[in-house]
Amino acid sequence: MPTSAVERIGVVGCGLMGSGIAEVCARAGRDVIVVETGRGAADAGLRRLTGSLDRATAAGKLSAPDRDAALARVTVTTDLEALADRDLVIEAVAEDEAAKVAVFGRLDATVRRPDAILATNTSSLPVIRLAAATARPQQVIGLHFFNPVPVLPLVELVPSLLTGEDTTRRARSFAADVLGKEVVQAADRAGFIVNALLVPYLLDAVRMAESGAASAADIDRGMRLGCAHPLGPLALADLIGLDTTRAIAESLYEEFREPRYAPPPLLDRMVDAGLLGRKSGRGFHTYR
């Protein structure tokens, strides 16, 4: 099936990542159905997506008619059966293996198109574990977007050992040609390219703050001004979400058993306390 036929997109989850993925697909002219677990989460996700489109319009990056057209292409529902006719479904639920495996099992039973692509936005979990929950592992692939999805240009394309060549080609072409993303291809190993390199750096920054070697503010200021990074490592961890950062670290440590991947105790305590970063209003820094 040519990529031009990938017109109907499904997204499972409408949090920060799911709403962003839905937005870029809608702005690319695709019909999008987003599924959430409950009406409250669905309404919150639609507000998040609408707010992002409004900000893009206010900044002059999107015209008002294009904003309205994109929003009209998006349906947010709690009914997974609504994804039955989708050409491509992208899972974007929390970075929890059991939750993602359950989603893929349900998608396998729900999505009826025999050539549909089932993709995961996982940032660290091996794709093959999710593909194994389906009877069509050759059609399962990783499409890892980066937050904020409408702004950051990268997508990591992650075929598993069982992903078919046609699925890889179509997924790459959709991300690059339809969404206009830059695509890098990674092997199906925990962390892929970006997080395998990034997360140890973030964890080292947490350990530095934990040891009292420097304050969170000075660690971030040092890396911004000394290395020209747009965000310091602790501010970046806050943006990613400290719970997500910990989940990625746990996945990396489970696979490689290297001490540098182990979540520091401070990170564990902050997540346990609900100090998750920007999305909770407080992490290593405070957000109002």
Give the active site residues: 123, 144, 156, 195
Quickly tell me which residue has 């990170």 as its tokens. Answer: 267
Separation of alpha carbons 144 and 124, rounded Å: 9
Name the packing angle between helices 194-211 and 265-272 (round to 10°): 90
**What phi-psi label fits residue 90: left (phi over 0), alpha (psi between -120 and 50 degrees) or beta?**
beta
Length of the chain: 288
Q: Are 57 and 182 in contact (CB under 8 A)?
A: no
Name the packing angle between helices 216-227 and 233-240 (round to 10°): 110
Separation of alpha carbons 117 and 176, rounded Å: 16
Q: Are 220 and 233 in contact (CB under 8 A)?
A: yes
- Per DSSP bridges, beta strands 182-185 and 154-159 are parallel
Helices within 143-232 (DSSP H only): 165-173, 194-211, 216-227
Beta bridge partners of 154: 182
Other Cβ atoms less than 10 A from the Cβ of 108: the count is 17
Separation of alpha carbons 270 and 243, rounded Å: 9
